[in-house]
Chain A
Amino acid sequence: MTARTAACPNCGATIEFRWSSAVQTVCPYCKAVLVRRDLDLEKVGMVSDLPPTSSPIQLGTEGRWQNDGFVVVGRIVYRYDRGGWNEWYLRTMHGGDAWLSDAQGDIAISSSAKEPGLLPAADHLRVGQQYVIDGTRFRVASLTRAHYAGVEGELPFTTWDRDESLFADLDGDGSGDTPRFATIDYSDGAPVAYVGTYVELEQLAPKNLRRIEGW
């Protein structure tokens, strides 16, 4: 992963990319949302300040998961009527990607399913339905309609044109040593499944965590 630089079309600051193939980034200085068009960046909007977070993760946090190193390159803040969470975008040393969500202190890491099977359309989703994803049986535990409350850093898609999306959270059947979960993401219209596990932060051997006053 070579860090590449570009100039912010809004404020002229130099933007360093952690991930050379990012589709969208946010200028850390002027908060302009920038979308890559060939070699240039185009300003498509502005983000308002992100709400103060107590998350220990930040852009540039590194760690290891399943024998692969990763670096946090982007973040989406989701909100829904009864809560909210951070979804951190990870690029791995082997060229893959994953999402690390942190919600009310629970940390979970997931990547897109290899064998998602046949996934239901959004309007056919019901709590209690069961699906086998990547060989594990999952049960739909809750449906969340969340909106984008903010973004920062580099992302694999554009978010400025998105507002709300539907997520289905699925619980594993409790087998195995690690608590597994799955998410079906409907933000692109078509369902995309992610599978992952809940982890303790120290299991990721994290480096460059955010320093929080007094802790």
Chain B
Amino acid sequence: MSAPAVASLTCPQCGAAVELRTLDQALSVVCASCGSILDARDPNLHVLQEFQARQKFTPQIPLGTRGTLKGEKWEVVGYQVRRASIDGTDYFWDEYVLFNPYKGFRYLTQYDGHWNDVQVVKTVPKQTMHGEQPVITLHDETFKHFQTATAYTEFVLGEFPWQVNVGDKVIARDFVAPPRMLSEERTDDETTWSLGTYMTGDQVWAAFALPGKAPHARGVYANQPDVYKPLAGSMAKRYLLFVAIIAALVFIRLVTASRETVFATNAQFLRPGAPADSLAFVTPSFTLRGRTTDLEVTTEAQVDNGWAYFEYALVNEQTGTTYEFGREVSYYYGRDEDGNWSEGSRRDHALLPSVPAGQYFLRVAPEAQVPTPFLEYRIVVRRDVPTYTPYLIALALLALPPILVGLRAWGMESARWKESDYAPSSDDDDDDE
């Protein structure tokens, strides 16, 4: 034999049928037709408070809906809308009363598309201070004070395991340790603590098999879990792995690079001030052997307080492929009130990243502007020379994702606390309105 789960009663105010789903566990039940709050324990359901909400609200989860939370079945039996006024702005949120005769009561709250699965905590948590900010420790978890506000009951529907009245007032203090939130509600008579766990609208929609899609959550909620912070952490760890790998690659490159000199001129001389065309020449041909690799052209010119410019073309004799590039060598020095100074260098390295094997020559068109009558210079060509540049670029590019995610994590954390009692005072100018 199983006992009936619902009792049917009659509203003394309007005569409509009133269903009682929690039977003797309910203390108040609201008549769905006239909104009167009735004493659920009185068989005649005497009226505790006539309808006096200022506006009507419709719950997103209809009363009587059953759903599954963490593997347990729950039925929505009550709904209230509460309001808090903070700095002259009214904030409204929903609270659903859930019931399972074998589990008792549980609650769901909803604000701006953010949900919390809430259970009453019987343990009285311990409060300490962290500077100016109260901190609560419960089951080895530390909750930071987020906000204190006075909350008023605005609208009620269904059944409640306490005597509910529109206009009920509690002092509510919220403490957060995302994804959890510990809330204290204090009246003159009693203090209750509850522990909420953040849920997304999609999770609630799935749990209660609600039609359509859950409304999008707006902003960052007090205990909304930070998806970016752990992601940024794991990305930073992965980045360190990349750094190690790249360091190993650099090491291997440094050890194995052949740095083979394939061509070098003797000391050359040129006349400063002469046009480049008149000084142009081609080098004897030289051979690149082995795999395609980089080619370094070193230009060393004994410039003294002047510059030399070299217009180069590296030409493949077989294919005619030409690599053109210009290099400047300049070196200035002197002495002023700060002492000796110098700028530039007498040596320049140009790197062609990837040159295949073959027979090559260099066409060189030099010109120079120096205070000496002749300029001595020398050209050295080496293949397979290690360089750091591609590795540094790789490191910089790989650093971008963790940096971007880290910035988002930081942004989410500041957005979260912007809504708290600990918001930076930058938005004080709003108070003047």
* A interface residues (Cβ-Cβ under 8 A, vs B): 51-56, 77, 79, 82-84, 86, 104-107, 141-142, 171-174, 179, 181, 198, 200-201, 209-215
Inter-chain contacts of A142 with B (CB < 8 A): 189-190
Picked from A82, A179, A209, A215, the residue with its CB within 8 Å of the CB of B5 is A215
B396 is an interface residue with CB less than 8 A from chain A: no
A179 touches B24 (CB 8 A): no
Q: Which residue of B lies closest to A81 (CB)?
A: B163
List the A side residues contacting B3 at CB < 8 Å.
52-53, 210-213
Taking CB atoms, residues of chain B closer than 8 Å to A200 are 103
11 more CB-based (< 8 A) A-B contacts, given A82-B27, A179-B122, A198-B122: A53-B24, A54-B21, A105-B103, A142-B189, A179-B124, A181-B122, A211-B1, A212-B102, A215-B100, A215-B101, A215-B102
B5 touches A105 (CB 8 A): no
Closest CB of chain A to B4's CB: distance in Å? 5
Q: In the complex, which of the residues A53, A181, A201 contacts B103, with contact meaning CB atoms closer than 8 Å?
A: A201
Residues of B within 8 A of A104 (CB): 25, 27, 104-105, 161-162
| With contact pairs A107-B104, A142-B189, A215-B102 given, residues A174 and B4 touching in the complex (Cβ less than 8 Å) | no
Selected contact of A79 from candidates B5, B41, B101, B123, CB within 8 Å: B41
Residues of A contacting B122 in the complex (Cβ-Cβ under 8 angstroms): 106, 179, 181, 198
Best-buried of B23, B25, B100 by chain A (most CB within 10 Å): B25
Residues of B within 8 Å of A105, CB to CB, are 25, 99, 103-105, 161
**Cβ-defined contact, A209 with B104, below 8 A:** no
A54 near B190: Cβ-Cβ < 8 Å: no
- Chain A residues lying within 8 Å of B161, measured Cβ to Cβ, are 104-105
In the complex, which residues of chain B have a beta carbon less than 8 angstroms from the beta carbon of A210? 2-3
Given A105-B25, A105-B99, A212-B2: A141 and B105 interface contact (C-beta under 8 Å): no
Can you spell out 19 A-B residue pairs with CB atoms less than 8 angstroms apart?
A: A51-B23, A52-B3, A53-B3, A53-B25, A54-B23, A82-B27, A82-B162, A104-B27, A104-B105, A105-B104, A105-B105, A141-B190, A172-B123, A173-B124, A174-B123, A174-B125, A181-B122, A200-B103, A213-B2
Count B-side interface residues using an 8 Å CB cutoff. 35
B120 nearest in chain A by CB position: A106
Contact B101 A212 (CB under 8 A): yes
In contact, B104 and A53 (Cβ under 8 angstroms): no
Contacts of A86 in B (CB 8 A): 24
Does B126 interact with chain A (Cβ within 8 Å)? yes
B24 pairs with A213, CB closer than 8 A: no
Nearest neighbor of B189 in chain A, beta-carbon distance = A142
B73 within 8 A of A: yes
Across the interface, which residues of B come within 8 angstroms of A174, CB to CB?
Answer: 123-126
Interchain CB contact under 8 A, B163 and A82: yes
A83-B102 CB under 8 A given contacts A54-B22, A173-B124, A212-B2: no
Any A CB within 8 A of the CB of B7: yes
Contacts of A181 in B (CB 8 A): 122
Smallest CB-CB A-B distances: 3 pairs? A105-B104, A179-B122, A104-B161
- Interface positions of B (Cβ within 8 A of A): 1-7, 21-25, 27, 41, 43, 73, 99-105, 120-126, 161-163, 189-190
Minimum distance in angstroms from A65 CB to a CB of chain B: 17
Q: Which residues of A contact B1 (CB under 8 A)?
A: 211
Complexed CA–CA distance, A141 and B25 (Å): 21
Residues of chain B within 8 A (CB-CB) of A173 are 124
B105 with A55: CB separation less than 8 A? no
Nearest opposing residue in chain B for A149, CB measure? B41
| Docked-complex contact A51 and B5, CB < 8 angstroms | no
Complex contacts, A209 vs chain B, CB 8 Å: 102
Instruction: Considering the complex, give the chain B residue whose CB is closest to the CB of A127.
Output: B189
Q: Is the CB of A52 within 8 A of B4?
A: yes
**Are B24 and A214 interface neighbours, CB within 8 A?**
no
Are A51 and B105 touching (Cβ within 8 A)?
no
Cβ A213 vs Cβ B4 within 8 A: yes
* Bound complex: CA A152 to CA B175 (Å): 44
**A179 to B193 Cα, complex, angstroms:** 12
Q: Which of B4, B6, B104, B124 is the one whose CB lies under 8 Å from A106?
A: B104
A86 CB to nearest chain B CB (Å): 8
Specify which of A52, A79, A84 is in contact with B7 (CB 8 Å cutoff).
A52
The answer for the CA separation of A83 and B24 in the assembled complex, in Å, is 9
Return chain A residues, CB-CB under 8 Å to B24: 51-55, 77, 84, 86
Q: How far is the CA of A52 from the CA of B21 in the complex (A)?
A: 11
Evaluate contact between B101 and A56: CB separation under 8 angstroms. Answer: yes
Q: Are A179 and B41 in contact (CB under 8 A)?
A: no
A55 and B101 contact, Cβ closer than 8 Å, known pairs A84-B24, A212-B5: yes
CA distance A213 to B7 in the complex (A): 12
Q: Which residue of B lies closest to A139 (CB)?
A: B124
Please, how many angstroms separate the alpha-carbon atoms of A106 and B120 in the complex?
Answer: 9
Of chain A, the residue at the smallest CB distance from B105 is A105
* Chain A hits for B101, CB < 8 A: 54-56, 212, 215
User: Which residues of the partner chain B approach A107 to less than 8 Å between Cβ atoms?
Assistant: 104
Query: In the bound complex, what is the Cα–Cα distance between A214 and B99 (angstroms)?
Result: 13
CA distance A83 to B101 in the complex (A): 17
| Measured CA separation A52–B23 after assembly (Å) | 6
Interchain nearest-CB distance for A213 vs B (Å): 5
Report B-chain residues with C-beta under 8 Å of the C-beta of A201. Answer: 102-103
CA distance A172 to B2 in the complex (A): 37
Instruction: From the candidates B43, B100, B124, name the one contacting A171 in the complex (CB within 8 A).
Output: B124
In the bound assembly, the distance between CA atoms of A171 and B190 in angstroms comes to: 11
Residues of B within 8 A of A53 (CB): 3, 23-25
Query: Which residues from B are CB-within-8-Å of A211?
Result: 1-3
